[in-house]
Amino acid sequence: MSDHNKTNSLSRRGFLRSAAVFGAATVATRAMAEIPLDEIINAPRRGNWDDQFDAKASRTAAAVQTRNPIFGAGATANIQQAIYDYESIVANGGWPRVNTNLKLKIGVIDPAVAQLRKRLIISGDLSRSAGISNSYDSLVEEAVKRFQARHGLPQDGVLGKYTLDAMNVPAEIRLMQLRKNLERVSAINTDLGQRYVMVNIPAAYIEAVENDRVVSRHTAVVGRIDRPTPILDSKIYNVMINPYWTAPRSIVEKDIMPLMRKDPTYLEKNQIRLFDSKGTEVDPRTIDWNGKAPDLIFRQDPGKINAQGAIKINFHNEHATYMHDTPQQGLFNKLARFESSGCVRCQNIRDLTTWILRDTPGWTRQKLEATIKSGVNTPVNLATEVPIYFKYVTAWSAKDRIVQFRDDIYQMDGYQELALQTGLNQEPVVAN
């Protein structure tokens, strides 16, 4: 491994370690009854940032929202144009490496800022009219925000080590990444439909698309590298309001059994009940929690602390994968969102569900909210199934030649510089 690769890998590992510490601090106020279950569900996280960005470097990146879907009309042509642009960048020598040990931000004067300006001008994030100087002014700050938005990073306008890490990926590697993703997008030759849901796994976000425009975007939590979210095409056929959650056997053995030895009221606190194969409820007090895990169903009742939250979205697939809500909305604000067991957690899922149920008679937003409030497990079959696609795209382009890149979280692009070196598989996870 080259020195550059080693530095890149180590910095990303440090990123995830710091993210875990940050995440622990934000959940300190949770109710005591929820803490044990939360500790199983929680893992290092990546966070909530706006995946949309400004088309002009002179304006704040988060100020303008694009309504262009990744797989919209012209998607292949847009990536091909990005490839032409990056081929030109590479042919002209690429961009300079920004070498600094300082955290660069507005007001700083340092020779590294001149390197930064050159880097941002070449990638189109900073206007050439801004010039080259050692001053980190408001123009540079806005350009850094735009760069951060294009790479799925928190848009603080500060050149910290993680933004620097993404910035120092060579232009040649970015070009290869675009070519790889052109193959992926070009391979999509099916009619996506007038209305569909698209999950871009490495971007950890969800698009609801109608008439080739994004109706809404939703931050997501997707599968970690050892339990990846599958790539699939399917159709949503059912929405489960106030779902039950059944604990996987592995969680029962590795987590719930030790917790019951420590606290015999754990199941009661977390509203988990036991059932035998005939559906008869079993009293937890009759179980020897010091022995082997009983051959019983561990089912969590609907409610505020249910691991799937208030809504579960079902679609046809062989992976037992689904989308769902979560009682831990703070997960969407963390710096690591690759931590589930393969299923996808969706922020603002009630908005998405309202849109999905639009053509199902009687299911208004008011009816949805009232049903959630009732706490009653309620399955709703869609009158018209809605297509859903789980895709793996780490580089794409919309109109105006704006190119976005994401980490190659499942290491499918083939370049070490693009892989997120996490260690997410070291943490236990309860809900999919």
Q: What is the pLDDT of residues 388-405, one digit of tens each?
A: 999 999 999 977 678 999
**Phi and psi based region of residue 401 (left: phi greater than 0; alpha: psi -120 to 50; beta: remaining):** left
Q: Give the model's pLDDT for residue 415.
A: 76
Beta strands in 255-354 (DSSP E): 272-275, 281-282, 297-300, 311-315, 323-324, 338-340, 344-346
Band the pLDDT of 237: cuts 50, 70, 90. very high
Q: Any idea what the Cα angle at residue 411 is, between residues 417 and 5, rounded to 5°? A: 20
User: Facing residues of 233 across strands?
Assistant: 389
The DSSP bridge pattern shows strands 205-210 and 213-223 to be antiparallel
Mean of pLDDT values over 19-45 = 35
Band the pLDDT of 338: cuts 50, 70, 90. low
Q: Where are the alpha helices (DSSP H) in 318-394?
A: 349-356, 365-374
- List CB contacts of 393: < 8 A, sequence separation 6 or more: 70, 181, 184, 185, 200, 202, 203, 406
1-55+192-244+302-432 folds as L,D-transpeptidase catalytic domain-like (2.40.440)
Q: Give the model's pLDDT for residue 33.
A: 34
How many whole angstroms separate alpha carbon 105 and alpha carbon 315?
46
Task: Evaluate if residue 252 carries a pLDDT over 70.
Answer: yes
Band the pLDDT of 339: cuts 50, 70, 90. low
Q: Give the model's pLDDT for residue 137.
A: 96
Annotated catalytic residues are 324, 343
How many whole angstroms separate alpha carbon 133 and alpha carbon 149?
24
- List CB contacts of 373: < 8 A, sequence separation 6 or more: none
Q: What is the pLDDT of residues 117-151, one digit of tens each?
A: 999 999 999 999 999 999 999 999 999 999 999 99
Q: Give the model's pLDDT for residue 326.
A: 80
Q: Give the model's pLDDT for residue 66.
A: 73
How many whole angstroms separate alpha carbon 264 and alpha carbon 257?
10
The DSSP bridge pattern shows strands 205-210 and 344-346 to be unpaired
Q: 61 or 170, which is more confident?
A: 170
Mean of pLDDT values over 234-254 = 91
Q: Give the model's pLDDT for residue 426.
A: 34
Residue in 331, 350, 317 with CA at minimum distance from that of residue 229: 317
The type of residue at 431 is A
Domain spans, the chain: 1-55+192-244+302-432, 246-300
Report the mean per-residue pLDDT for the chain.
81
Task: Evaluate if residue 30 carries a pLDDT over 80.
Answer: no
Band the pLDDT of 332: cuts 50, 70, 90. low
* Matching residue, tokens 């592995």: 250
Q: Give the model's pLDDT for residue 306.
A: 81
The DSSP bridge pattern shows strands 344-346 and 323-324 to be parallel
How many whole angstroms separate alpha carbon 271 and alpha carbon 299?
8
